[in-house]
């Protein structure tokens, strides 16, 4: 009997990969797949895949395997991808612009409702069908629009300052591309960090060793 509580992050982090691959299978017309086939394609063990899925429910059929489209939907459901959490983007520089464009295109789970920057060069410009706002308007905007998630594409110092402000305004989830460590400062916040530099450094290590 599966429980959704206490599912480890190791498991959670594999779900999007399953989802991505199942969607691809579905697109290419595959209707049925066994854990063994899946494991071969993903480079995991069949055991792990069954173990992972059974944290959430018995989605397969003994002797048959899994129905691709059904499993795909189940995972989308587990991840709550049909949510439309209102999100704001902080920083419309190179990375911020890319993320903004990406968000407006993808829209799985989140919906971008505001973009903020402090540079007068950028304020007023259009990005992802939104006009870039002055970060000075942030507080007013949040009180009115109640975003749930904030994306940090700003430098470290700005991130520290903005995190404090947004936390004060009740925002508890952050997608963090900055060098500032939000998770350490606000332990009850949900923080997902993407440190591109860190990623590149581990690549450098592995090439060299």
Partner DNA sequence: TAGATTGTTAATCGATTAACAATC
Binding region for DNA (CB under 7 A) out of 50-58, 92-100, 125-133, 186-194 = 50-58
Q: According to CB under 7 A, which residues from 26 to 45 bind DNA? A: 34-36, 44-45
Q: β-strands 66-67, 84-90: how paired?
A: unpaired
Q: Closer CB to a second copy, residue 56 or residue 118? A: 56
Sole binder of DNA in the list 21, 59, 167, 186 (CB under 7 A)? 59
The reply on whether position 56 binds DNA by CB under 7 A is no
Which option in DNA, a second copy, none does residue 17 bind, with CB closer than 5 to 8 A by kind?
Answer: a second copy
Binding region for DNA (CB under 7 A) out of 4-12, 101-109, 120-128, 189-197 = 4-12
Binding region for a second copy (CB under 8 A) out of 57-65, 114-122, 138-146, 186-194 = 186-194
The reply on whether position 205 binds DNA by CB under 7 A is no
The reply on whether position 120 binds a second copy by CB under 8 A is no
The reply on whether position 19 binds a second copy by CB under 8 A is yes
C-beta of 41: minimal distance to a second copy in Å? 7
Q: What is the 3-state secondary structure (H, E, C) of the chain?
A: CCCCCCCCHHHHHHHHHHHHHHHHHHHCCCCEECHHHHHHHHCCCHHHHHHHHCCCCCCCECCCEEEHHHHHHHHHHHCCCCCEEEEEEECCCHHHHHHHHHHHHHCCEEEEEEEEECCCCCCCCEECCEECEEHHHHHHHHHHHCCCEEEECCCHHHHHHHHHHHHHCCCCEEEECCCCCHHHHCCCCEEEECCHHHHHHHHHHHHHC
Sole binder of DNA in the list 21, 26, 42, 48 (CB under 7 A)? 48
Which option in a second copy, DNA, none does residue 12 bind, with CB closer than 5 to 8 A by kind?
Answer: a second copy
């Amino acid at each position: 009997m599966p429980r959704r509580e206490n599912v480890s992050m190791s498991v959670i982090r594999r779900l999007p990969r399953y989802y991505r691959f199942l969607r691809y299978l579905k697109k290419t017309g595959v209707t049925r797949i066994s854990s063994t086939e899946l494991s071969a394609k993903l480079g995991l063990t069949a055991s792990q895949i069954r173990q992972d899925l059974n944290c959430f429910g018995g989605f397969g059929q003994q002797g048959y395997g899994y129905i691709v489209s059904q499993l795909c939907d189940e995972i989308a459901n587990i991840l709550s991808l049909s949510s439309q959490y209102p999100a704001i983007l902080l920083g419309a520089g190179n990375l911020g612009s890319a993320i903004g464009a990406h968000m407006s295109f993808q829209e799985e789970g989140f919906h971008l409702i505001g973009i903020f920057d402090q540079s007068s060069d950028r304020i007023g410009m259009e990005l992802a069908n939104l006009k870039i706002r002055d970060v000075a308007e942030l507080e007013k905007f949040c009180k009115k629009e109640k975003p749930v998630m904030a994306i940090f594409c700003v430098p470290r110092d700005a991130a520290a300052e903005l995190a404090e402000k947004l936390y004060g305004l009740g925002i508890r989830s952050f997608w963090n591309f900055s060098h500032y460590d939000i998770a350490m400062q606000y332990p009850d916040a949900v923080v997902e960090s993407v440190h591109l530099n860190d990623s590149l450094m581990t690549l450098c290590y592995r090439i060299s060793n």
